[in-house]
A and B are shown apart, each in its own frame.
Chain A
């Protein structure tokens, strides 16, 4: 990117983040202007990707698209699927060949990655080396057990933190966090402060009247873990369900089996914590929550739906209920299936949590995000996951052609205006219903109404494949 383009992009990002803020505040938001800014950022990113990201270059070349193009062409031809972040050879991980992994990651990053991999024996070591060199890499593990790695440079990382703080603060403050008076005072403050200043203020102020409880691991580089890492310091105190690090190596062993003694030990530790001592870990968290309540602290509780189900079951088994202080929040996200694939009913879970913690249903929030996107979308009281104006959503039909309209069902994709260091034009594996209209909650613009996984195609014919085989 030229200096001029870089500066222009920074300006556009600042304005866009500010626009996201006014959108969340439901005051003075100009959707047309936001759209212009967003699209300008996307086109600058496109030109940057073509010059610097080999995978994107290749795709653009094959599709005959140059540096100068339009949004519709990008939507039609240049959106990668989320699988691009797992397009490496599995053998490289098996053989701990992180030199090859560097090379592969360079293909989906805007700079060559050349970190020293001498002595790197695990994915976590590799990620730490990358971070030390300024590349923050988050991974996620899907049902296939194959890891996706999404690299972001420090600028992108800071931008993501800023953007989310800036629009989530008013979004959550709106009828949720704090007293009416606080909300009355906070709104103008938010409007007046620049994004960077607001972030500093939020970080400095934190949420001292909240204790944070995270139904996850103390440390780790998985998507949820990274979010936990960013949120945890905001609270007066924070506790984790599992007081160990979640390592990629241990997760890999869960899927592929332990190959070495070290693997076996890692797996044993993980299984001990999450299976053998699962209930006692939940009981510890419950104990800490009680302490917080006794100390008149509000509680922020975060985890995946199945974890809340487990928590609810354990408390019910112990015949326990805890009346959380008014203003406490539960936030869950990460899909509605448990590890066993059991589907859960959202309404039932909300009812259980509401009864167990004496918390009104509107304080039980749900978030939708993924490793590949820069934003967290929060479900409103009308049941919609509103998409902040930083993101241009796209819905695809089964042929992966973009659809047009205000009420669409299909595969969810997005053009992420904040993704500069990796190709942020992504087609996800989620099947959604997207509506673009005013919502009763007061937010406008596109929102996801239904979210599920895209269906696998049934193969006809006697030919076929029983299961995943390497060939």
Chain B
């Protein structure tokens, strides 16, 4: 990996410019040489919010640099030079080649491949660290989160966890999922021949219509997948790629703006350690700006892909769904989490409840779809305020451990909330040099979740009874953390029946296990095509 980077001057920041490659069907495509003068000229007439410029021979992205000490924009940018990309080079039409090659791999082959990737990342620690430091220049996430994600990269590719994902998410008929992915599995299905055979037998007689019974066989067939990811957590392209690899997919991973560099790192690892492997040969990790019709019009055509996986903003999802109506789309809608704290917490375990609830709010620095935005407190308003004050103190400790960058627009949004619609609420704010770092609002009434800035701000709502919260739960809520355990078990099914996906003990809402459902789906099962022969 390091050799490729050295030879082609990739993935290091020189004078504010980073050249990042794409992986396109197994080949590393390097960007052209473009100097800073040309880059600045390209952005010269653009307004300050412009982050992307398309050239005839390259794509340019710019991200504002954040001073990690002051946690403010410096006014400078890091520019990424990326190769161009076109729709035709991403679409795979040679299905026979896939059927005999990639689709014929075994689960053992997949796991071996992951081992290679994981080993490559572990072996190239210097490069990984270099990439991490490039990301840090512009990362909106706190350093502790960034460091944690990068440290976790190899473990994301853990073989045992991957095996469990396959075996659990594709499991049917009491058989492990790997069996179905490896080939045909005979299942003891009680066959019902259908109406027509009975009619035909009556019409044409037994001799003419009798048949040899054949086995009932099922298989999890790989598919050609397009993953359109969003969010700027560096792990996202890797998680998407993992799912594609585990299902032996001929996949295109579109990295999100903000994680193009880690996508490039992953693509580089694949090409470096196993350039001839069928998985690498059928994997593309690229970037284009969402909505670019010159690329997407081809990718969204019927039969270009068998699956489109999309996560991100409501606009992205509805845009993709409207443009690709004939392709099965797996959507990860934007969702959020909440916490329910029973009155039992005020009988001596308030501090613990506060710490645990804060943990659930801190997931991905409150930007994950499972992060808790609202804490419902069963108690009086006075109790809610007491809770809020303790929560504020707890969040201040988090501020000390993981100082966060708050977007200027979010600072403005907070002021707007405090001086406007939520001026009657009680605000408990942590600040440094008069700038918001984290906080809590105790709301006297309902809160419009669309107003939530998701920046380490917790809304606290006092309720008379936890069952009062049920009317606020729906499919838009992914996760509910509850304390104490007895209340969680009592409310669990009522909550889940309302569309919530996870009901977990307070403080444990970030927990995952291999093979768990995501947004109500066994995702790998959605990505394969279940066949019957």
Contacts and interface: CB of A to CB of B under 8 A. Distances in A.
Contact of B258 (A62, A460, A470): A460
A463 interface: yes
B410 interface: yes
Nearest to B316: A458
Interface residues of B, number: 58
Interface of B: 140, 230-233, 236, 256, 258, 311-314, 332-336, 338, 364, 366-371, 373-374, 407-413, 415-417, 419-424, 427, 444-450, 452, 454, 459, 461, 472, 474, 476
A11 B260 CA distance: 64
Given A398-B409, A457-B409, A87 B333 contact: no
A427 B311 contact: no
A469 B476 CA distance: 9
Contacts of A82: 420
A466 to B, nearest CB: 5
Interface in A425-471: 427, 457-471
Contacts of A396: 412
Given A427-B416, A465-B452, A466-B476, A471 B447 contact: yes
Contacts of A59: 419, 423
Contacts of B336: 463-465
A87 B422 contact: yes
Interface string A386-429: 00000000001111100000000001000000000000000100
Given A462-B334, A463-B368, A468 B140 contact: no
Closest A-B pairs by Cβ, 7 of them: A464-B334, A83-B420, A81-B420, A461-B367, A89-B445, A83-B421, A400-B412
Interface string A167-198: 00000000000000000000000000000000
Given A84-B420, A398-B408, A457-B409, A91 B449 contact: no
Given A400-B412, A458-B313, A469-B474, A463 B454 contact: yes
Contacts of B256: 460
Contact of B421 (A84, A91, A462, A466): A84
A144 to B, nearest CB: 8
B305 to A, nearest CB: 21
Contacts of B474: 469
Contacts of B420: 80-84, 87, 427
A334 B446 CA distance: 30
B273 to A, nearest CB: 29
A454 to B, nearest CB: 9
Nearest to B374: A471
A86 interface: yes
A107 interface: yes
B423 A462 contact: no
Given A427-B419, A469-B476, A460 B334 contact: no
Nearest to B371: A463
Given A398-B412, A471-B459, 16 more contacts: A59-B419, A80-B419, A81-B416, A91-B446, A399-B409, A427-B420, A462-B335, A463-B335, A464-B313, A465-B334, A465-B450, A466-B314, A468-B449, A468-B450, A470-B449, A471-B374
Contacts of A469: 448-450, 472, 474, 476
Contacts of B236: 462
B457 to A, nearest CB: 13
B446 A461 contact: no
Contact of B367 (A58, A89, A460, A471): A460
Interface string A59-72: 10010000000000
Nearest to B429: A62
Contacts of A460: 140, 230-232, 256, 258, 367
Contacts of B410: 457
A94 to B, nearest CB: 11
Contact of A471 (B232, B333, B416, B446): B446
A79 interface: yes
Nearest to B363: A463
Contacts of B408: 397-399
Contacts of B231: 460-462
Contacts of A6: none
A84 B334 contact: no
A399 B412 contact: yes
16 contacts: A80-B420, A81-B420, A84-B423, A86-B421, A89-B444, A90-B446, A427-B419, A459-B454, A461-B231, A461-B369, A462-B230, A464-B334, A465-B476, A467-B476, A469-B448, A469-B472
B461 A471 contact: yes
Given A59-B423, A466-B334, A469-B472, A461 B233 contact: yes
